[in-house]
Amino acid sequence: MSVSLPAHPFGTVQSGSERSVQRIVLVIQYLGTHFHGWQRQSHHRTVQEEIERAIHEAAGYFITLHGAGRTDSGVHAAAQVAHFDAPRHIPAHRWADILNSRLPPDVLIRASAGVEPSWHARFSALWRRYRYTIYTDACPNLFVRPFCWHYYHAPMDVNLIQAGLDPLVGRHHLAAFHRAGSGRPHSWVDVQVAECTRRGSFIEIELQASGFLYGMVRLLVGMLIEVGRGDRSPESFTEIWQQQRRDLVKYAAPPQGLCLLRVGYPDFPISSELWFDSQPHLDFRSSSSVYACPT
């Protein structure tokens, strides 16, 4: 019995015996600034394509890389997970070093391992977790700009934001935070965690769910800003998504503040030290509390 590796638009894929092929899982970090998202596209640079090209250089033929989820243009990932089928003569744990030597500086493979042939990066996942970071200091800072939304127009009350987040936990119809253009047939989401934390000048909003709608986190954060500055009550925020008022959700938070933090699986062969919390927290004292920011 033979098994064919997945077809790829760049070329013809070779086939081999079932015993000559192994499934490889990767834990991937990338800076989304100069990527047009995860998914391969015809005329834009994407993370999937960069890694597939690196695998092609190493293996000698093209494969399809399957990711746990698709991030939008400009969105980062601290521990994206993906898998592909590769020749068995290359040890599974060696793929991380092999690919890192061929990848550009804004993509990094944290680790690689072998998994069962039935394991799937997307369909085996139990949950995904995202973090959105907001920088609230009055002074801009070049060294945090690529990783957060610099929002300084009004004080942010994290208790109000948390009060808006609390009712989201559970299974809900979140069509109010579902951008057009998605192929998903429904807007039901099982939200497991919804937390807001302040760390000095930074506010972090973390959401964990079995899956996310297209554009959901950025639309949700865009409206939570109104809650945090006191322009909209937490009750009003909840009423909007409960009534599915997509017409009242006007603005999406910018992409650079969003990071795919991690993906959860029932049995994962890679140590949690390499994927569980690999986006460093931005946390320092507000400069405006020490010096007056020039205007």
Give the span between the Cα atoms of 188 and 89, in whole angstroms.
43
Spatial distance between the Cα atoms of 179 and 218, rounded to a whole number of angstroms: 10
- Which one has a higher pLDDT value, 35 or 186? 35
3-state secondary structure of 94: helix
The answer to whether 215 and 255 have CB atoms below 8 angstroms apart is: no
Give yes or no for residue 222 having a pLDDT over 90.
yes
Which letter, b or e, does each residue of 61-91 get, where b requires 16 or more Cβ atoms within 10 Å of its Cβ?
A: bbbbbbbbbbbbbbbbbbbbbbbbbbebeee
- Residue ranges of domains in the chain, CATH in brackets: 2-115 (3.30.70.580), 127-265 (3.30.70.660)
Across the chain, what does the average pLDDT equal?
Answer: 90
User: Closest by alpha carbon to 40, among 5, 85, 8, 83?
Assistant: 8
Has residue 149 got a pLDDT over 70?
yes
Residue linked to tokens 């559970």: 170
Q: 């009242």: which residue's tokens?
A: 248
Residue 226 has pLDDT above 80, yes or no: yes
Name the one residue in this structure whose structure tokens are 């995860």: 38
Q: How far apart are CA 162 and CA 155, in angstroms?
A: 15
Do residues 165 and 224 make contact, with C-beta atoms less than 8 angstroms apart?
yes
277 catalytic? Reply is no
Poorest-pLDDT segment among 20-29, 187-196, 265-274, 283-292:
283-292
Report pLDDT for 16.
Answer: 44
- Residue scoring higher pLDDT (24 or 89): 24
CA distance 59 to 45: 22
Q: Is the confidence at residue 128, as pLDDT, over 90?
A: yes
Residue 44, CA distances (Å) to 39, 48, 73 in order: 10, 11, 10
Share of the chain above pLDDT 90, in %: 80
Enter the pTM of the model: 0.90
The helix/strand/coil state of 140 is coil
Instruction: In whole angstroms, give the CA distance from residue 13 to residue 11.
Output: 7
User: In 3D, which of 249, 262, 244, 195 has the Cα closest to residue 218?
Assistant: 249
Q: Which of 72, 166, 267, 283 is catalytic?
A: 72
User: Is 80 exceeded by the pLDDT of residue 11?
Assistant: no
Q: What is the rounded average pLDDT of the residues 269-284?
A: 90
Q: Give mean pLDDT, residues 54-78.
A: 94
